[in-house]
Every structure is written in structure tokens, then in C-alpha cells.
Structure 1
């Protein structure tokens, strides 16, 4: 068991979303260099002042590569930290060398488990422990103080590992939400194909019955089969193009759509007055878009009931244009907390993206929470080869 855990840690890759360099890096570097200048100028008991200043500046510069080269930066930093005390013992015994600003190495201890691979974490952790033990041996402070100092040195690494675990867990949950959306789209694809193929079978059966009686009626039946088949291909291509992964669940109930919005907003819980407005040709939407509109309104109404404080009204607008369908949901309440997107909004944004549309959610200019979505009625590459609808 322990061997398997160690093997898993050793083969753990780096996080895929590590930024190379952001504004915080330059702010941290500026603060570190300012601390070096102030300490070197105001502190009088600095031994080997030029060497101590150069070492502190070196440690500050290493912070710029702590995400992309965590193991190398830890090795260089702690090698420098250990080298100075060793040299001071040989040349000037019992005289500590270095600035307090050199404590920026704690940032490197944090970055190692946060951004390093499993192999880098193990090797870098060994370097940190070796440096900490060596400095403790060379120091004449009591054993208990050395233990406390070593624990303080390792604390940023524990924090970095916790932050990484939390981020990984959230990303895993988001991926599960996206997977559920894809599975639901797959079920809707099943329903769409089954519906249209059933209609084609019925039309073909009717045409076969009428073929001997009225040939013209049989020709019309064949035209109906052709048109129904073209419509099926259009909708199927749009939905298959949206699905990156396939997974058909067991539930095959027809999804709710725009026609069900009236029933949805009539029972929002009694606390909110819902103003629903439907405009344009909304009767012939592709099933995937029809279901997406319903899901966006449903999730927005649910979020307003849960999170909108002092809200009294919810305005829902669904507008069908020639090539797009626009959905707008706005409440007049106020939100508490940091306002980070929940898993419901993440799933809706994933669904809108898979269908070729966009979804934005955030606070309004005055108050309330606004959800705006724009979905294409059909993909252009599919519609270009389909017959016009009757």
C-alpha cells in the first residue's frame, strides 16, 4: 500500500495551469529588493555586507522561476543558504552571515508542492530537509528551537500542498459537471433521432399503402421522408459536433423545452414574481437548443431563489432571431459572498459552449444578478446541406 502511494506521488505530473509569470511576481520581487536595500542600509550588525546583499538579491531573483523550475530554484536557493554558514564557520567563526530578507526562500518552499511534479516534490523536499538539518547542526541553539524552526520551514510546503489538492478537487468536480452535461446531450440526441426516425417509418408505411392507389400521394410521402431525414441529419450533426465524449445514460425521458417555461415560472416558490417574455419563432428550435434554453432559465430561477437577498422580481426574456436565440434572466436582489460561479453555472456555460454559443453571468450595473446567453439555432455547416423546413 505504502509503496503504491509513493509510486503514485513519484509519477504525479505538474499542474497544467501553472502561469509563467504574473504581476504578483514583479510585486514580490520589488518588495524583496526593497527589503534588501532597507536592511542593508539600516542594519548595523551585518557581517560581510556585500556578500549578504548579493545573496539576498539572488534569492529574490529566483522567485521569478519558482513555477516553471521549482526543483532547480529550491536547489539553488537552499544551496546558497547552506553555503554562507559553512564559509562563515571556516573564515569568521561564530559570526552569522546573511540578511533577514533571505526568508523569501519560504515562498520557494510553498511553490515546490504547489507547482512541481511528484518527482520534483520528493527531491526538493529532500534538499530542504537536508539544508534544514545541516543548519541546525551548525547552529548552537537548543534542540527544541531547531525542531520548531524546521517545522516553520516546512509549513509553507504544507500550505502549498493543501492549495494544490483543493484546486485539483475543484477541477475534478467541474469535469464531472461537464461530463454530466455531455451525457444529457447524448440522451437528447437519442431522443431526437428516435423521434424523427419513427416519423420517417410512419410516412414510408403510409406511402407504401398509397402507392397502388395514388402514385402522386406516394411521391409526396417520399418527399416527406426525404425532408424528415434531412432535418434529422441537421440536428444530429449539430449535437454530435457538440459532444466531445460519448456516454449514453439510462434515463431517456424527453427533455423539457421552451414550451415548459410557463409551468416552470408559475411555481418558483412564491417569494419572487417572475415576468416571462417569449418573442419570435420558438416552436421549431432544434431539441438541443430547446433543452438548453429551459436549463438556463431553470438554473437561473433556482439560483435567484437560493442566493438573491431581498429580491422581489425576476425578469426572464427568451428571444428567437433568425440565426440565434437569446436568453436573459435578471433579478433585483443582492448577492452575498464572493460571487464565484457554482457548478450549475459551470455546467450551463459548458453546454452553451458545446452548442457553439456563449453564456455570461455576473452582477448587474446597479444591483441584482444577470445571466445572458446566446445560442445558435443551428450550425452553419449542417444547415448549408439541409432542405428548408415546411
Structure 2
């Protein structure tokens, strides 16, 4: 079983895009440096000062690149500490190292948080070797030795757990985006199929009257040209959109005109009110379906998560350049974070971005939650 775990860990890739040095790293290095200097000056019973300073240096310095080079930082730190302890054993010098040596726990955590699988295995071996050597250099009771191993193993396990959680969240977000892309692909497929069916009918009609009524045949060709142009624009919408194999839905796709279906009876809570204004004719079918889906998801979120909400207002305003959707509720949101945290919001943002629009969701200044999306009237793929 241990062999299987090590084999699986060895093949684990490094997490994508680890952050480079951040202000917290510099602050940590600054605090540890001041602490080490003060401890070296004030504390008695330490090992020779050169060894103490070397040990502090090899622990503190690698913290600055521990995320981007986790194995290198661990090998430098614990390899140098092993050499320092071997020198202490060979010279028979007494005294201990600085308490800031405990900062090496951060490197054990970082190794399993940001390192590749083989880096984690190699680095863990280096850490275990140092633990064995330092136990000889600083003889302790069995309980203290077991505690030291437990601290480092716990730090490594914590890094692995946070890594797994972050990876699972990224996968969930990717799945939410994929589902939204599949929904868009299905809607676009139905729209293009509608245009192509119209082209086929007009072509048949034009051929039937071409000999007896050339003018009607020309009109049919004009209609075919317009339908083909629309179909081409919608077909371009499918570029880059992945679609999983699934049964097709044959019901017409919803549009802005169908938003009234989202309102509830007078007894339902929260009550949904829909207001349409401006230029809402001749919207791209993909844009019309997106407005409906965004409003539908926003109302669903309000009913699930807005505490004590009594009203949800849906306002759609069309203008010459595009259309704006605003959904407000008067409930207390379950979170004060205005970011894209929920997977439903991830899908809404993905749909809006694919259609060339902008999206924002967050708490309002007074009370409640607002979802706002702006889409162009005719869509161009990004």
C-alpha cells in the first residue's frame, strides 16, 4: 500500500501557476531575520555563532523562492542543516540552534503544496535524513523525537490537503464552465438548424417558381442570402465551444420575450417582477437566450441564498449598441464577497464572456444582491 501511494505521488504534476514572491514572504523573512539576530545576541547556550548564523541563513533565504522552486529550497535548507549538524557532531560542540529553525516547517508545507510529486518524494527523503541527523546532534527523549517527526509530517500533510482542495475547486470551476459551454452549443445548434431549414424551404420555393415567376425566385434568393448570413454568424459562435454527446432538446430556445414565464404567482416568495424597455427587437438568438438564462439563474440563486428576500426585480433595457440585464433582490446575502465564488456565477460569467459582454455580481450598497450583465445586440466570438 505504501508503495502504491509513493508511486501515485511520484507521478503527481506540479500545480499550475504558483505565485511568485509576494509581500507576505518578504514580511516573513524580515521578521525571522530580526528574531534570529535578537536571539543570537540575547540567548545563552547556543552552538558556535558561525554555525548558528549559517543555519539561520539557509532557513530564511529560501523562503523567498519556496513556491516557484520548492525542491531547491528544501534541498538547500535541509541539506545545509544536515551539514551543520554533522559538523556539530564531529566537533563535539554543545549548544543548540536558534528557535527560528522551526521556520523550516514552512518549507515542508510548501514542498507538498507547490512541488511536483517526485519533488515531494525527494524532498521528504531529505527532510527525514536531516531529522535523523539532528536527533543525534541534539539528543532528546523518544517522545520529543516522535513529536519532531510528527510536526514535519503534519506540515507536509497540511500542504497536500490544501493542494487537493485547491485542485478540486479548479476542477469544479472548469466543469461549471464546460456545462455552460455545452448549453450555449446546444442553443446555437438549434438556432443554426432553424436557419438552415428556412434556407432549404426557400430554395425549394425558388426553384419551383423560377421558370414562371423570376421575380419571386429573386426574392427567394434574397431571403436565402439573409438566412445564410445569420446562420454563418451563429455557426461562428460554436468555434471553441466544446459539446458533450447528449440528447438534443427540440423545444424552441427561450428569449427575452419569454422572461415573463419566470414570474411567480402573487403568493410565491420572493415575488419576481420583470420590466422590459428599450429596443429589444432583432436581438441575436444567442444573446436573447443568454439574457433569459442569466435572469433564470439569478432568480434561482436569490431563492436559494438570499435570506428573508421578499422581492426580485428583473430589468432588461435594450439600446442601439446592446442590451443590459439587472437583477436585484432585497434579501441578506449569505456572503459579503462580491467575487465569482459560486459555480452558478462562474457559468453566468463564462456565458457572458463568450458572447462578448461584461458581467458583475455582488452585494449592493444598501441591502441585497445585484447581478448585472451587458451584452452586444449581435454577437462576435472572442
Shift, 1:67, TM fit? 0.8
Which residues of 2 match residues 310-389 of structure 1 at below 5 A? 310-337=308-335, 339=337, 341-379=341-379
Measured against aligned partners, the alpha-carbon deviations of 1:18-50 in whole angstroms (never above 9, x if no partner) come to 011112111211221232133223323333235
The match for 1:388 is none
Which residues of 2 match residues 226-241 of structure 1 at below 5 A? 226-237=225-236, 239-241=237-239
Shift, 1:332, TM fit? 2.1
Alignment partner of 1:249 is 2:282: no
Shift, 1:131, TM fit? 1.2
Residues 60, 7 of structure 1: alpha-carbon distance in 2 compared, 3 angstrom cutoff: same
| Aligned-residue RMSD, C-alpha | 2.3
The match for 1:294 is 292
The match for 1:198 is 197
Unaligned runs of 5+ in 1: 383-390
Question: What SS does the corresponding residue of 2:263 show, helix, strand or coil?
Answer: helix
The match for 2:74 is 74
Unaligned runs of 5+ in 2: none
The match for 2:125 is 126
The match for 1:107 is 106
Report the TM-score, using the length of structure 1 for normalisation. Answer: 0.90
Q: Distance in 2 between matches of 1:31 and 1:267?
A: 62
Residues 130, 250 of structure 1: alpha-carbon distance in 2 compared, 3 angstrom cutoff: same
Which residues of 2 match residues 264-283 of structure 1 at below 5 A? 264-266=262-264, 270-283=268-281
The match for 1:30 is 30
Given that residues 112 and 120 in structure 1 are in contact (C-alpha distance below 8 angstroms), is that contact kept between their aligned partners in structure 2? yes
Question: What SS does the corresponding residue of 2:289 show, helix, strand or coil?
Answer: helix
Which residues of 2 match residues 131-280 of structure 1 at below 5 A? 131-237=130-236, 239-241=237-239, 243-253=240-250, 254-266=252-264, 270-280=268-278
Residues 193, 4 of structure 1: alpha-carbon distance in 2 compared, 3 angstrom cutoff: farther
Question: What SS does the corresponding residue of 1:360 show, helix, strand or coil?
Answer: strand
Given that residues 39 and 99 in structure 1 are in contact (C-alpha distance below 8 angstroms), is that contact kept between their aligned partners in structure 2? yes
Which residues of 2 match residues 24-103 of structure 1 at below 5 A? 24-93=24-93, 95-103=94-102
Q: Judge which range, 191-200 or 360-369, deviates more.
A: 360-369
Given that residues 186 and 248 in structure 1 are in contact (C-alpha distance below 8 angstroms), is that contact kept between their aligned partners in structure 2? no
Given that residues 284 and 379 in structure 2 are in contact (C-alpha distance below 8 angstroms), is that contact kept between their aligned partners in structure 1? no
Q: Distance in 2 between matches of 1:269 and 1:118?
A: 57
Task: Say how many residue pairs are matched.
Answer: 379
Residues 17, 43 of structure 1: alpha-carbon distance in 2 compared, 3 angstrom cutoff: same
Shift, 1:116, TM fit? 0.5
Residues 328, 146 of structure 1: alpha-carbon distance in 2 compared, 3 angstrom cutoff: same
Q: Distance in 1 between matches of 2:207 and 2:364?
A: 59
Shift, 1:166, TM fit? 0.6
Q: Judge which range, 149-158 or 35-44, deviates more.
A: 35-44
Shift, 1:159, TM fit? 0.3
Measured against aligned partners, the alpha-carbon deviations of 1:79-112 in whole angstroms (never above 9, x if no partner) come to 222222222223244x133100111110000000
Given that residues 135 and 145 in structure 2 are in contact (C-alpha distance below 8 angstroms), is that contact kept between their aligned partners in structure 1? yes
Question: What SS does the corresponding residue of 1:68 show, helix, strand or coil?
Answer: coil
Q: Distance in 1 between matches of 2:228 and 2:361?
A: 37
The match for 1:387 is none
Shift, 1:228, TM fit? 1.2
Shift, 1:4, TM fit? 6.5
Question: What SS does the corresponding residue of 1:266 show, helix, strand or coil?
Answer: coil
Measured against aligned partners, the alpha-carbon deviations of 1:275-303 in whole angstroms (never above 9, x if no partner) come to 32212232322222111111111111111
Q: Judge which range, 38-47 or 155-164, deviates more.
A: 38-47
Shift, 1:56, TM fit? 1.3
Q: Distance in 2 between matches of 1:219 and 1:318?
A: 38
Shift, 1:252, TM fit? 2.2
